[in-house]
Amino acid sequence: MKQNEKEIVNSNVEVNLNMKENGISSNNPSDVKLTAQEIEESHNIKVLSPGKMVLKRFFRSKLSIVGLIGLAFVFLFSFLGPVFSPYGEVESIGATRVVQTIFSYTVTDEITGEDYVLYEVREAIVTNKTAPTWKNWLGTDSYGYDVLTRLMYGGRISLVLSFIVVFAELIIGMLLGSLAGFFGKWVDQLIMRIVDIFNCIPTLPILLISASLLDSWNIPSDKRIYYLMLILTVFGWTSTARLVRGQILTLREQEFMVAAEATGMSAGKRIFKHLLPNVMPQLIVSVTLGLGSVILYESTLSFLNLGVPFPYAAWGSMIGMASPSSGSGREILQYFPNLWIPAGILIMIAVLSFNFVGDGLRDAFDPKAKR
């Protein structure tokens, strides 16, 4: 920040002081605007709104910019990439490779009685797990599908699922948390005890059990993702509710809330018009950080073949191809890194980018974080 440049929040106190120094009456609202312009021109002072100050602090962080670049790459790759791909998500592209198999035989000479080892080399043409080429930048998988195209569609699944789940968690957490914090007493006790019960349940084992139940109920493959969203939402709203409750407990005793109550404003208007807007900065940070966690949960379930089912692509299921428990997992893990390493890199980029952006927003919304 330049030495001759200062950040000023355009509050009534500062404007009145500036007007008093310049001898301007406050009866005319246009004088306030004129005074701010005169101050900027004559004293070389920059007047910034709270929103501009938040953006300036956010873009001052290099990690925040790196996070935005990473998110832009992941979104463009996942949603715009398939438009330019000549292959489909479940389209076998017909690429081939030659596989050589060596067989050995032990033969005994009838005359001399000596043993000889004979080797036979057999060649076969297969259409799966081909090497990367100019037409297929990451080769093909065990089913002859283009790996790069499947990565794009897998990103769509992970990102859309995470956004829907986090948005649903936000709605439920805001409603229940605001009710608990505003009304208190038995309402607060009831909601918080429900939150405690959900927090005592181990999330990952419940997700594994729920996914196994979906298998036993023969849920169609195209419907399982909706059940997965519902399960993740049910066990993920509690942290948002606790955050909203804590913030509202602090805000409801402030002077502006006492004034709103004195005017006869209803409880609903006080919650949605005054309290929740003041909690939104913290909620935005929480939502941004929660997106990475949902992607990791989905990837974990898909890795265990309990998430997005085949033939639909998901980053976790693509990594799961290299699991030693699967039939050809050891072979893929050792000889075909192009089938699972790119998916792991994309998961890492997405999660780190969301975390970087969340950290940047947290520092930007904090008025004490002026560095």
pLDDT in tens, 170-180: 899 888 888 88
What pLDDT does 66 receive? 92
Residue 49's pLDDT band (cuts 50, 70, 90): low
Look at 130-139, 200-209, 303-312 and tell me which has the smallest mean pLDDT. Answer: 303-312
- Cβ pair 134, 325 in contact under 8 A: no
The b-or-e profile of 174-211 (16+ CB within 10 A means b, else e) is bbbbbbbbbeeeeebeebbeebeebeeeeeeeebeebb
CA–CA separation, 104 and 118 (whole Å): 6
pLDDT digits over 4-38, tens only? 444 443 444 444 444 444 444 444 444 444 455 55
pLDDT digits over 98-135, tens only? 555 666 667 776 677 677 676 666 655 556 677 788 88
Strands 115-126 and 97-108: antiparallel
Please check the confidence at residue 84 and state whether its pLDDT lies above 60. Answer: yes
Hey, what are 20's tokens? Answer: 């008093």
Q: Which residues contact 359 (CB under 8 A, 6 or more apart)?
A: 61, 63, 64, 67
- Cβ pair 50, 11 in contact under 8 A: no
Average pLDDT for residues 138-155, to the nearest whole number? 86
Task: Name the more confident of 43 and 82.
Answer: 82
CA–CA separation, 186 and 260 (whole Å): 24
- Cβ pair 305, 321 in contact under 8 A: no
Q: Mean pLDDT for the chain? A: 76
Give whole-number Cα distances, 202 to 58, 191, 197, 207, 233, in Å.
Answer: 35, 19, 10, 9, 14
Catalogue all structural domains in the chain, each as residue range(s) with its CATH number.
7-48 (no CATH), 63-88+141-365 (1.10.3720.10)
Hey, what are 82's tokens? Answer: 């398939």
